[in-house]
Structure 1
Amino acid sequence: MIISFAEITQWLGLFWWPFMRISGVFMFAPIVGDGSVPVKVRLSLAVVMAMLVAPLITSPPAIDPFSLQAIVLSFTQLLWGLFFGFLFQIFFTVFTTIGQTISVQMGLAMAVMNDPANGISVAIVGRLFLFACTLLFLAFDGHLAMLALMVESFTVWPIEQGFSLGSLHLIINMMVWMFASAFAVAIPAIAAMLITNASFGFMNKAAPSLNIFALGFPMTMVLGLFALLLSFSGIGGIYFDVLMEAIKFARGYMTGGAL
């Protein structure tokens, strides 16, 4: 049996192009893209997923793997996967931003923990919201929805199709949505803390001899924890709504920015 170079190229394309796209997704995707997950584990998962996705690709592009066109296509697939994983990472950032905002209002801005996913230090309340977001993401099978959308992307967004400006515009819109959603969820706790600080300001004016700093910090902490408890009480329903909105953005990204 004689195997031609064109057949080898086609077989290589069945695995290589999906591998590049899936590798990009796993670099930024929540949980898998965390900095604590070794790179070898991510690449191994990408290889397994590429082998599973390869039979779904009916007509891979016939491109010389040693040509400049193959390099450009590989970079395009990697970039597409990076932005796709970044969409779900923004979804996680919504809840981290909520925790950081509440933490600043509580006076816990100096209580920080290392965030291995982003390589920065975040407020401890933000880390608490991130843990809750991760557990809810797994409980709602968000990881399965993300993998299903990634597999579906090879049908909706073929390998040979280029990048669109509509998808980039949608990513910018999702970043705006991230700050708006985080502020909308955190505004009850922010309002409660602003009222508390204003009350201490009036107390300081009414009784200047009162040591407002010694009294204010523990009271602010207690009221902040109470506001945090109220914020967590309805986090399940809020989380599900935000998750559905993130999946809507991901589908719009796959269709070229059309929501």
Structure 2
Amino acid sequence: MTTLSQSFILAAFLAFCRVGACLMLMPGLSSIRLPMQIRLFAAVAVTVGLLAFLWDNIYPHVDMRPAIFVPMIFSELLVGALIGTLTRLYMEALRFIGAAIAMLIGYGGVGGPAIEEPEPQAALAALISFAALMLLFALNFHHEVIRALVASYKVAPVNVFFSGQASLVDVTDTLSEAFLLVLRLGSPFVAYAILVNLAIGFVNKLTPQIPIYFISLPFVIAGGLILFYFAVPTLLSLFGDGFIETTLAR
């Protein structure tokens, strides 16, 4: 094998490290419902498709010496994992507020099978997370992730080692923005739960002989589902806008 062919293989492997680590954590493609072979072939296909555009950013920096090439592999894996993690944090925040919404309206009893994750999840939370994931793919967010991978070679070149401090700042900012966003999206349900439970508590104090809480539970759930019916389009729309504008713009 010639030196040129070895350099070509090593450059392709470096690109695969960044792309594969990103797709490994990216929402949707990282789901356990997706067979491992499909995820692997998707990462290889994206790597081959992007290699022509990234050749000038990768090939000149390839060094076959193990003392230099091995740290480059770890750096590329960490950069790709950071990009995938930033996109995934928003989905985890949405799952959190979905479980909170189900609990606030009294519909979060026994957890059912989740669609994307292996852990049991409330039916309402699974519906919200799956609908948001479908909306993101309909908005071509996977194209934006690929665009972010291409742009990352200007921000984090191959010949520069992964910066832990800058990555922690990005993760902290993304966590803050994500949970503030989903808290605003779930605020109507928080207000509904406070008002309804406060009213039920007052009524229960006025008539202690009647188990008002158990009698009112079906009405609380019905009211929460009606509120969810009218609020879910706006909730998903605002989540999609916030995801595209903040996460992928980073």
Q: Provide TM-score, normalisation by structure 2.
A: 0.90
CA distance in 2, matches of 1:161, 1:210: 70
AA aligned opposite 2:134: L
User: Hey, what's the Cα distance between the residues in 1 that align with 2:115 and 2:130?
Assistant: 13
What is the CA–CA distance in structure 2 between the aligned matches of 1:153 and 1:146, rounded to whole Å?
Answer: 10
Partner of 1:39: 36
| SS across alignment from 2:112 | strand
Mapped to 2, the partners of 1:102 and 1:150 lie a distance apart of 34
The residue that corresponds to 2:223 in the other structure is: 223
For structure 2, the 5+ residue unaligned runs are none
Flag as ranges the 4+ runs of structure 1 deviating above 4 A. Answer: none
CA distance in 2, matches of 1:236, 1:178: 14
Kindly state the Cα deviation for residue 27 of structure 1 after the two structures are TM-superposed.
Answer: 0.7
2:71 maps to a residue whose letter is V
Asked if structure 2 preserves the Cα contact closer than 8 Å seen for 1:9 and 1:62, the reply is no
Q: Which residue number in structure 2 is paired with residue 246 of structure 1?
A: 246
Shift in Å, 1:237? 3.4
In the superposition, the TM-score normalised over structure 1's length comes to: 0.87
Give the superposed CA RMSD.
2.0
User: Aligned residue for 1:255?
Assistant: none
| Percent identity of paired positions between Structure 1 and Structure 2 | 20
**1:90-148 CA distance string (max 9 Å, x none):** 12223212211111112233231334654422222111111110121122111211122
Deviation string, structure 1 residues 137-167 (Cα, Å, up to 9, x no partner) = 1221112111222223234432222212122
8 Å Cα contact 1:193/1:223 also seen in 2? no
Q: Which residue of 2 aligns with 1:62?
A: 62
> Aligned partners of 2:77, 2:143: CA distance in 1, in Å?
21
Q: Is the 8 A contact 1:87 1:171 kept in 2?
A: yes
8 Å CA contact 1:196–1:220 kept in 2: the answer is yes
Gaps of 5+ in 1: 253-259
**Matched residue type, 2:90:** F
Amino acid corresponding to residue 134 of structure 1 in structure 2: L
Shift of 1:28: 0.5
Q: Distance in 2 between matches of 1:55 and 1:24?
A: 19
CA distance in 2, matches of 1:21, 1:128: 31
The equivalences for 1:73-152 within 5 A come to: 73-115=72-114, 117-152=116-151
Note if 1:18 corresponds to 2:11.
no
The 2-side partners of 1:80 and 1:113 are apart by: 35
Contact 1:90–1:178 (Cα < 8 Å) also in 2: yes
Q: Secondary structure at the match of 2:108?
A: coil
| Aligned residue pair count | 246
1: CA distance, partners of 2:139 / 2:115: 24
